[in-house]
Structure formats: structure tokens, C-alpha cells
Amino acid sequence: MEEVITTGTDEAAVAAAEAVAESEERVAEAAPQKKKHHVNQQKLWDNIWGWLFCLPLIIGTCWFIYSTLIMAFLLSFTNFRVGGQVSMWECLGHLGDYIYGKRQGATDAFHWYKLLFTENVTGMDRTTLINMGIQLNEMGAFLFNTVFYMIGIPIGMILSVFFAVCMSRDIKGGNVFRVLYYLPCVASAISIVYTFKIMFGSTGVMNQLLGLGNFHWISEGVEGAYTWQNLTGAEPSANAFMMDPYWCQGFFMKLVIVIMSVWKGLGGTIILYVAGLSGVNAATKEAAQIDGANGWIIFWKVTMPDLYPTIFYNIVTSVIGGMQIYAEPEMFMNSAYSGGNVMVSGYVALIYKYGINMKYASRGAAYGMFLAVIIFVLTLFQFWLDSRKKD
């Protein structure tokens, strides 16, 4: 009797095991099988060729921008000088031994950065200003010039949008106007600068049109035409603005450069806005017209929102480029080899003045790092404002 019971139990266990095995097989069969991905040879070669074409740009960017940025950052804490006894690679390789002033027993890695905020205007400009009892912080004066030139950004943007809207309409000769407005972008910068120097000269056409006599828009020498008296021939004034050459004469000189920069860059910006206007949703504009919206409302409520990406791009690139202005003011005053002119030169002129002209690369590197931080912060601020607008 016991044998029968045992045998029956074994058979039941075997049957249960078989049932479990069958169910596992069915589950395995029902599960989705991983498909083998076949490599698309054409797509693979397209990717390879794409990366090969991008490789020179990637290598150039890493070597000429990122690596030099790192080296400039490290050199800004040293007293490395071009043409000195120590090479740049030796200085970077033994950075701790060449921190500014260490050989003299006074380590001060931030020496150049402190000097940035304490150094007054140097050179011929300093002699002129000291004789008049005026002291200017060099970085503050050159940085103010740079910020002043950025007044042209909103002016240029407004004018560009206006002309782009006019050109995007169905008018005869629209393409001719686009070419005419773009011509200054392909003209030589030197020819434009000297044209404006002649136009705004004391006997130039602008004085004749405005009836200003021999008004000196541009200083023609280190000692001349700085105060309101020299500019107009009027009696000396006790007004601080009129007696301060940096604020009085400098204002008119910078104003001429702003006008020139806006005129020169107008064509390229117009082309971008014309392209942006071509992407405005025509159906939305038509629906707004059917609802009774006038042209002004359509422009602000329909056109401008669709044009925003182009506007944002232009503002970001214009601010970055505006902070790096260098060539136009230097050509205007023939001051590229003298370390800049305090009346008109932008901040980049300081980097050249100390980093290249005076051979103190570490000082120029420190000044360059300060400018890089300013541009980085301004760009981040613009992207932050953009993200808030999207939210």
C-alpha cells in the first residue's frame, strides 16, 4: 500500500515539473525577440565623411581657442614677458616658480587684476589730462568707450527691422534696395573710416549741412580741440562737462564712430531680418486681418513673435562683437601702434597695448580674461532673459 502511494506522488511531481517547463517555454516564445540591427553602410560612410570634414574645425577650435584660453588664464597670474629669458612653455611647466613677484619674495598672483582697477591713463593722453588736473582710471575709460559704442546696437536693430519690413513688401526694385543697403558690408573698412573722417572734418560736408562752421568733431592732435572752447571757439566755461576733454571732445568723437558703425553694419542685419520675415506665418496674418486687426497690431502681435529668434540671435552676436570692437576706433585715430587713444579706443586696445605692444603677455592675458568674463556674464544674462520669456 505504501509503494502505491509513493509512486503516485512521484508521478504527480513529474507532471507538475513538466507543466512548469512548458509554461516557461511558452513565455519565452511569446517574449519579443531582439532584432539584429543591420548596419547601413551608406549611412555609416556619410557619418564618417561628415566627421572628417568637421575635424579641421574641431581641431582648430580646440587648439586656437580652448587651449590658448587656458594658457592665457594661467599666464595671467605670472610675470611672463615676451622676449624674456624664460619661454612660455617653461613658464607654464613651472607655474609655481613664476607667479608674479615670487622671485622678489612677494608672491601676488592677482597683481595684474588689481592693477586693472588702480592704474590711471598712461602715455601721451596722461600728460594732456594731468596738465588739466584730470585723472582717469585707464580700464574705466576704455571700458566706457566700449559700452558707449554699444548704443548703436538698439539703433541699428530698429532701423534694420524698419527697412526689412519695407523691403519685404511687394514693391518694384526691392532687390535693388537690398543690394544697395548691403554694399557697405563688402566695402573696405579703411575706405569707410577715411570717408567719415573727411565728412566730419572741421571743413567737411557735415558741418556745411548742419551750419556748424568749423566745429571739431574729431581731435586733430594730442593737445588740440579737446575742450568746448577749442571745439567751438566760444569763451571758456566753468561747466565741468565742457572743460573735461574726455567727456566733451570724446563724446563727439565716439558719436561719429557710432554713426559709422551703424551705417556699416546695417546691410547685413537687414538681410537677416528679411530672411526672418519670410518665415512669418502667413495664415496667422490673414486670420488677424479677417478679425479686423490693423497693420500695427499685426506687426506687434504676429510678426514680432515670429521674428523673435532672429532678433535674439542678432542681439547676442552684436553684444559679443560690440564688446570686442577694436579696428574702427584705432583706424579713426591712427593709434593702433601707440597703445590706443583714451578718447575713442575700446577695451581690446588695452590687451594689445600691454600684451603685445609692451611685450608683457601676462598683463595682456589678465586684461583679456577680464573681458572674457564680462562677455560670458552678459551672454548668460541674455540667455536667462530668453528662458524667462519662454516660460
d(CA 133, CA 384): 43
Within the chain, how many helices (H) and strands (E) appear? 20, 0
Q: Give the pLDDT confidence score for residue 177 in this predicted structure.
A: 78
Same domain, 223 and 339: yes
Q: Give the pLDDT confidence score for residue 375 in this predicted structure.
A: 93
Q: Give the pLDDT confidence score for residue 157 in this predicted structure.
A: 92
Same domain, 167 and 82: no
Residue 286 lies in a domain: yes
Domain boundary among 84, 111, 138: 111
Same domain, 232 and 167: yes
Residue 162 lies in a domain: yes
Domain boundary among 63, 84, 111: 111
For the chain, the domain total comes to: 2
Can you give the pTM of this predicted structure?
0.77
pLDDT tens readout for residues 20-47: 666 666 655 555 555 556 667 788 888 8
> Can you state the percent helix, strand and coil of the chain, rounding each to 5?
70, 0, 30
Residue 18 lies in a domain: no
Same domain, 68 and 186: no
What sections of 187-227 are H helices per DSSP?
189-199, 205-210
Same domain, 122 and 105: no
CATH number for 343: 1.10.3720.10
Same domain, 79 and 162: no
Residue 205 lies in a domain: yes
Contact 331, 193 (CB under 8 A): yes
Same domain, 176 and 258: yes
Q: Give the pLDDT confidence score for residue 55 in this predicted structure.
A: 92
Q: Which three cell numbers stand for residue 9?
A: 506522488
Same domain, 122 and 101: no
Same domain, 86 and 162: no
Same domain, 167 and 74: no
Same domain, 101 and 127: no
Per-residue pLDDT of the chain (391 residues; tens, 9 = 90+): 444 445 555 666 666 666 666 666 665 555 555 555 666 778 888 889 999 999 999 999 888 888 888 888 888 888 777 777 677 777 777 676 667 655 444 567 788 888 888 877 765 455 555 555 556 788 888 999 999 999 999 999 999 998 888 887 777 777 777 788 888 888 888 889 888 988 888 788 888 888 777 777 877 554 444 666 666 666 655 555 666 677 777 888 899 999 999 999 888 888 888 888 888 877 888 888 888 888 788 888 888 888 888 899 999 999 999 999 988 888 888 776 666 788 888 899 888 888 876 677 888 888 999 999 999 999 999 998 888 876 6
Residue 106 lies in a domain: yes
DSSP string, 239-307: -HHHH-TTTHHHHHHHHHHHHHHHHHHHHHHHHHHHHHHTTS-HHHHHHHHHTT--HHHHIIIIIHHHH
Residue ranges making up the domain that contains 261: 118-390
Q: Exposed e or buried b for every residue in 68-78, given b needs 16+ CB within 10 A? A: eeebbebbbbb
Domain boundary among 111, 127, 157: 111
Residue 75 lies in a domain: yes
Q: Give the pLDDT confidence score for residue 337 in this predicted structure.
A: 65
Residue 68 lies in a domain: yes
Hey, how many other C-beta atoms are within 10 angstroms of the C-beta on 150?
17
> What are the CB-based long-range contacts (under 8 Å, 24+) for 69-72?
69/372, 72/365, 72/368, 72/369
Same domain, 372 and 299: yes
Q: Give the pLDDT confidence score for residue 130 in this predicted structure.
A: 52
Burial category of 253 from C-beta neighbours within 10 Å (exposed 0-12, middle 13-18, buried 19 and up):
buried
Q: Exposed e or buried b for every residue in 96-118, given b needs 16+ CB within 10 A? A: eebbbeeeeeeeeeebbbeebee
How far from 313 is each of 9, 167, 302, CA to CA, in Å?
A: 81, 21, 19
Residue 9 lies in a domain: no
